[in-house]
Amino acid sequence: MGVPDLPLGIYVHIPFCVRKCHYCDFVAGPAPDEIRSAYVAALEAEIRACALAGALVRTVYFGGGTPSELNGAALARIVAALRDSFSFVAADLPDARPCLPLPGSAFASPVEPPPPPPPLTATEWTIECNPGTVSEESLTAMHEMGFNRISLGVQTFSDIQLQRLGRIHTAAEAAEAVQMARRAGFTRLSVDLIFCLPDQTLAEWQNDVEQALLLGPEHLSLYNLTIEPETEFGRRHRAGCMQLPDDDLAADMYEWVMDRLSEAGFALYEVSSFARPGEASRHNSLYWRHEPYLGFGVGASAYLHGMRWTHTRSMQAYLATAARPGGPERAVEETLPPRAACGEAIMLALRTSAGADIAALAARYGVDGEREFGATLRGLEQDGLLVRDGARTALTRAGLLLANTVCSQFL
* Residues of the shown chain interacting with ligand SF4 in the complex, contacts defined by CB under 6 A: 17, 20-21, 24, 26, 28, 64-66, 130, 153
Contact 59, 123 (CB under 8 A): yes
Helix extents (H) in 130-275: 136-145, 159-165, 171-184, 202-214, 232-238, 247-263
CA 301 and chain centroid, separation: 13
Q: Residue 371 phi/psi, 5° resolution? A: -65, -40
C-alpha pair distances (Å), 318 with each of 97, 322, 331, 338, 403: 40, 5, 10, 31, 35
164 touches 22 (CB < 8 A): yes
- Nearest distance, CB of residue 327 and ligand SF4, angstroms: 23
CA distance 270 to 122: 23
Nearer to ligand SF4, 167 or 283 (CB): 167
Q: How far is the CB of 288 from ligand SF4 (least distance, A)?
A: 22
Q: Considering only CA atoms, which of 342, 317, 344, 345 is closest in space to residue 329?
A: 317
- 355-386 b/e with 16+ CB inside 10 Å = b? bbbbeebbeebebebeebbeeebeebeeeebb
Q: Which is nearer to ligand SF4, 21 or 253 (CB)?
A: 21
Give 132 or 327: the residue with its C-beta nearer to ligand SF4. Answer: 132
Q: How far is the CB of 16 from ligand SF4 (least distance, A)?
A: 8
Nearer to ligand SF4 by Cβ, of 26 and 256: the residue is 26
Strand partners, 63: 13
Query: Whole-number minimum distance, CB 260 to ligand SF4, in Å?
Result: 25
Cα of 162 vs its chain's centroid, Å:
21
Of 193 and 350, which has the nearer Cβ to ligand SF4?
193
C-beta closer to ligand SF4: residue 64 or 328? 64
For 30, what's the count of Cα atoms within 13 Å in the CB-facing half-sphere? 6
Q: How far apart are CA 281 and CA 108, in angstroms?
A: 19
Nearer to ligand SF4, 130 or 396 (CB): 130
Q: Which is nearer to ligand SF4, 66 or 105 (CB)?
A: 66
| Nearest alpha-carbon partner for 306 in 320, 321, 294, 291 | 291
CB of 154 to ligand SF4, least distance (A): 11
The rounded distance, in Å, linking the Cα atoms of 215 and 35 is 36
Cβ nearer to ligand SF4, comparing 156 with 352: 156
Phi, psi of 144 (to 5 degrees): -65, -25
The one-letter amino acid code at 222 reads: L
Whether the Cβ atoms of residue 288 and residue 351 lie closer than 8 Å to each other? yes
Q: Which is nearer to ligand SF4, 130 or 393 (CB)?
A: 130
Paired strand residues for 193: 155, 222
3-state secondary structure of 134: coil
* Least distance (Å) between residue 21 CB and ligand SF4: 3
What's the closest the beta carbon of residue 13 comes to ligand SF4, in angstroms? 10
- Residue 386 beta carbon to ligand SF4: minimum distance, rounded to whole angstroms: 33
Q: Name the minimum Å distance from CB 276 to ligand SF4.
A: 25
Smallest separation (angstroms) from ligand SF4 to the CB of 152: 11
